[in-house]
Copies of this chain bind each other. A is one copy, B any other.
Amino acid sequence: MKKHRKSSKKQLSKKIGMPPGSLIYVGDMDADVSKMPKPTVTLVAYDAAELTETQLSDDDLAAFDLSAFTRAGKKVWLNIHGVHDAAVIAKIGTLFELHPLVQEDILNTEQRPKIDEFNDYVFLETRSFKYDKANLTMDSEQVSFVLGHDYLLTFQERSTGIFEPVRTRMRATKAHIRELGLDYLAYALLDSAVDRYFSVLEEMVDTSEDLEERLLSNPTNTELHMIHHLKHVSMELRRAVWPLREVINNLTRNESKFFKPATLPYLRDVNDHTVSFIESLESIRDSLSGMMDIYMASVSQRVNLEVRALTVVTMLFMPATLISGIFGMNFVHMPWLEEKDGFWWAMSLMGTIAIIMVIIFRRRQWLSSKK
């Protein structure tokens, strides 16, 4: 959590005063860009009949000719891992004639999800999340889509596996997905990214349920900080998904010429999922607020029990102490003092009073440790 926010901070000052469209990688600052693995560019060219997957070298990329594929009726999907290498992004940017601001946005991995429609392509940004349940932290990865008429580009820093299920479906012979257009592929990848959100949500619900149980038994400072952290995480998710919802909502209104009407029902489906996700998130936030209240009530309750313990102790000892004081007075004429069993009588008196008190306290349920 903290790490994420820190990097998000560093990255921003780095850009101040730069001309717009400056290609500078903005991401995790602890990592040394020069030591990061070389970016990999994977070409998936397919039609209904066959599919080829090729890892493109720098030379391949330089010699890349989209029109060759288009003429052959092939659909082209280029997936780029490692967006820290501004040179590669610039090369691809030139190849597909991407606006400088689009290139900048791909490199700046702390962008807000958004959609920008240009004449020749639509640019779409979203985020992928990974929740670390043990540390209550969350890693997020930016995923950028560029959908043109004959190609689809996807950009990520690290492989997060969110595209894997789609790739598997594509490799199958007679895969329905290969018969459909690139807009359907873009949808399928987006859908896969949104599905991933739900697994993050599940883990948050798990943590939140654990938390709820622990709050009921014995709330400590740890629970307080867990609540605080979960709130933070849910807030961050919300900030990423809320604009995404707008983006997808825009798409479902068929305002983009890059998505065919036949794909719209599917986009509406993703839209339903994001709305449902946001509602679940709200529900978690609400639940966390409730837990905060329970925590505060528990702390107050405990002050109560501590004071009661003090009261009980004081009440149990005070009468006995007074009796011992009374028989310690130095009056010449005092009852019981010269009696043979006087001492034991006094002790019995103390004991009796204590026992009566214990009985009274038990009746008032003052001795049970629970309220």
Chain A interfacial positions (CB closer than 8 Å to B): 2, 5-6, 9-10, 12-13, 15-20, 99, 101, 111-112, 114, 116, 164-166, 168-169, 176-177, 188, 191-192, 195-196, 198-199, 201-202, 205-206, 209, 216, 220-221, 224-225, 228, 231-232, 235-236, 239, 265-266, 268-269, 272, 275-276, 279, 283, 286-287, 290, 292-297, 299-304, 306-311, 313-315, 317-322, 324-343, 346-347, 370-371
Q: Is the CB of B333 within 8 A of A330?
A: no
Residue of B nearest to A222 (CB): B371
Q: With contacts A19-B176, A205-B5 known, is A275 near B307, CB below 8 A?
A: no
Residue of B nearest to A283 (CB): B235
Residue of B nearest to A213 (CB): B2
Nearest 5 CB-CB pairs, A to B?
A17-B165, A324-B325, A327-B329, A331-B343, A310-B311
CA distance A301 to B304 in the complex (A): 10
What residues on B are CB-neighbors of A338 within 8 Å?
A: 332
Q: Is the CB of B195 within 8 A of A9?
A: no
- 8 Å CB contact of A272 from B114, B326, B370: B114
Q: Is the interface of A mostly helix, strand, loop or mixed?
A: helix
Residue of B nearest to A184 (CB): B20
Q: Is the CB of B325 within 8 A of A13?
A: no
Sample of 4 further A-B pairs with CB below 8 A, known A328-B330, A333-B339: A9-B202, A112-B272, A221-B371, A324-B328
